[in-house]
């Protein structure tokens, strides 16, 4: 398995000025279940709680893709095209990359999100976020994709992810949840 963990302190709590500068240009905003494939220089942004965003970029840093998934479980019957499910989102992202002539297995991946948002009554169970991150780790490792984790897991918080294809790792701003910090 090829993997790397980027410094949580350096990337988890980007100074406001750094995040503001990174997100000042026109940006494509994606929502749960969205998958996009874009060219170098394009900025993509999303907001995560327990969800996970996976960003993948080709070796030349000229084409990148991002997905935002909610569920790590397999899709229920009749939901096999619903990209809020991790498996469907990754299939779609791989297909989008291949349609641009990019081999997804030769890409570099960045995993963000997976905050510990707990459902009431399930306090003893692993958080939805930790299960989502574990799925991403396992899936990407099984594919042999070089993976970096950028601000994953941890307590209940929102994460605003901003990524400009071709400029390295996504910039993540952690937003505390009122009353939980």
Q: Read off the pLDDT of each residue in 19-36 and give the average, rounded to a whole number.
A: 81
Write the burial class of residue 17 (CB in 10 Å: 0-12 exposed, 13-18 middle, 19+ buried). exposed
Rounded Cα distance, 55 and 36, in Å: 10
Q: Read off the pLDDT of each residue in 111-121 and give the average, rounded to a whole number.
A: 79
158 pLDDT higher than 60: yes
The residues with which 165 forms a beta bridge, in sequence order, are none
Q: What pLDDT digit, counting tens, does each position of 72-102 carry?
A: 988 888 888 999 999 999 999 999 999 999 9
Structure-model confidence comparison of residues 181 and 53, the more confident one: 53
Q: Read off the pLDDT of each residue in 117-133 and give the average, rounded to a whole number.
A: 74
Rounded Cα distance, 143 and 159, in Å: 26
Query: Other C-beta atoms within 10 Å of 32: how many?
Result: 18
Set out the domains of the chain in order of their start, with CATH numbers: 3-164 (3.30.1330.200)
pLDDT of residue 29: 96
pLDDT of residue 98: 98
Give the SS3 label for residue 76: coil
């Amino acid at each position: 398995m090829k993997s790397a963990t980027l410094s949580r302190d350096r990337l988890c709590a980007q100074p406001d000025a750094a995040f503001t500068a990174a997100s000042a240009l026109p940006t494509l905003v994606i929502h749960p279940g969205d998958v996009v494939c874009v060219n170098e220089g394009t900025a993509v942004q999303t907001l995560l709680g327990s969800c996970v965003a996976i960003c993948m970029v080709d070796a030349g840093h000229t084409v990148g893709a991002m997905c935002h998934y909610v569920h790590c479980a397999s899709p229920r019957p009749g939901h096999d095209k619903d990209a809020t499910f991790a498996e469907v989102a990754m299939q779609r992202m791989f297909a989008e990359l291949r349609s641009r002539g990019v081999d997804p297995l030769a890409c570099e991946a960045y995993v963000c999100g997976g905050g510990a948002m707990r459902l009431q009554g399930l306090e003893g169970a692993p958080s939805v976020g930790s299960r989502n991150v574990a799925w991403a780790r396992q899936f990407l490792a099984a594919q042999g994709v070089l993976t970096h984790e950028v601000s994953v897991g941890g307590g209940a918080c929102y994460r605003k992810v901003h990524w400009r294809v071709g400029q390295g790792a996504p910039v993540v701003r952690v937003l505390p949840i009122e009353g939980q910090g």
